């Protein structure tokens, strides 16, 4: 399936929320999120020929975005971080003015503790993708996806409790 440049840009605009979520799942700093966002768009453009139209554009976009994020994240982890010298610092909730923002900040902080497969699973799960769609995107069986999602939800709850957030 061949998309024109304008069709590609329209599809990116329509589904850019996926890119924001993936970027936020993998990085805390806004600059890193923006770098990853741009890298994903570049990889989407470079691999556009691989989109055959057999699945929804958003499903294909998820696969490319997650794969790009994982590779990008590994590269960034190898760079020394001169600014974050303290690990496992407490969550600063005072920045958020309402409860929803606090919950979301806590959730994203907890998600960062997950491994790359768990992050990909939970991201797609909260976006409402079916077990089959998630399985297809990640190359897993539907049964394995259901089991991993349940385990990941339990793990997230434990991480959030450990962080001291009451829900």
Q: What is the pLDDT of residues 72-110, one digit of tens each?
A: 876 765 555 444 433 444 434 344 457 777 788 888 888
Percent of the chain with pLDDT over 90: 25
Q: Which two tokens stand for residue 4?
A: 């024109």
> Residue 36 burial by CB count (10 A; 0-12/13-18/19+): exposed, middle or buried?
buried
Give percent above pLDDT 70 in the chain: 83
- Cα separation, 95 vs 119, whole angstroms: 25
pLDDT at 43: 94
Give the CATH number of domain 1-85. Answer: 1.10.1740.10
Cα pseudo-dihedral 64, 31, 12, 67, rounded to 10: 0
Residues 8-29, mean pLDDT to the nearest whole number: 88
pLDDT reading at 143 higher than 50: yes
**So what's the pLDDT on residue 84?**
42
pTM of the shown model? 0.62
Over residues 138-150, mean pLDDT: 91
Separation between Cα atoms, residue 88 and residue 65, nearest integer Å: 27
Of 58, 157, 60, give the one whose Cα is nearest residue 114: 157
CATH number of 89-167: 1.10.10.10
In 133-157, which positions are buried (b, 16+ CB within 10 angstroms) versus exposed (e)?
A: bbbbbbebeeeebeebbeebeebbe
Helix (H, G, I), strand (E, B) or coil at 68: helix
Q: How far apart are CA 87 and CA 75, in angstroms?
A: 19
Instruction: State residue 79's pLDDT score.
Output: 55
Q: Note whether 1-85 and 89-167 share their fold.
A: no
In this predicted model, which residue has the larger pLDDT, 11 or 101?
11
Residue spans per domain, the chain: 1-85, 89-167
Note the pLDDT tens digit of each residue in 114-130: 988 898 889 889 888 89
What pLDDT band is residue 146 in, cutting at 50, 70 and 90? very high
Whose structure tokens read 């960034």? 76
């Amino acid at each position: 399936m061949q998309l024109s440049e304008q069709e590609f840009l329209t599809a990116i605009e329509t589904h850019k929320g996926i890119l924001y979520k993936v970027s936020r799942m993998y990085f805390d700093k806004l600059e890193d999120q923006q770098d990853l966002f741009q890298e994903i768009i570049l990889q989407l453009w470079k691999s556009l020929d691989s989109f055959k139209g057999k699945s929804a554009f958003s499903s294909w976009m998820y696969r490319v975005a997650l794969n790009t994020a994982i590779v990008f994240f590994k590269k960034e982890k190898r760079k020394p971080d001169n600014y974050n010298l303290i690990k496992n610092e407490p969550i600063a909730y005072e920045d958020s003015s309402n409860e929803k923002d606090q919950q979301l900040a806590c959730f994203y902080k907890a998600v960062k503790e997950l491994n790359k497969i768990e992050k990909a699973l939970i991201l797609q799960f909260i976006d409402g993708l079916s077990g089959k769609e998630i399985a297809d995107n990640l190359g897993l069986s539907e049964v394995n996806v259901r089991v991993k999602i349940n385990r990941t939800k339990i793990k997230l709850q434990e991480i959030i409790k450990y962080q001291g957030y009451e829900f």
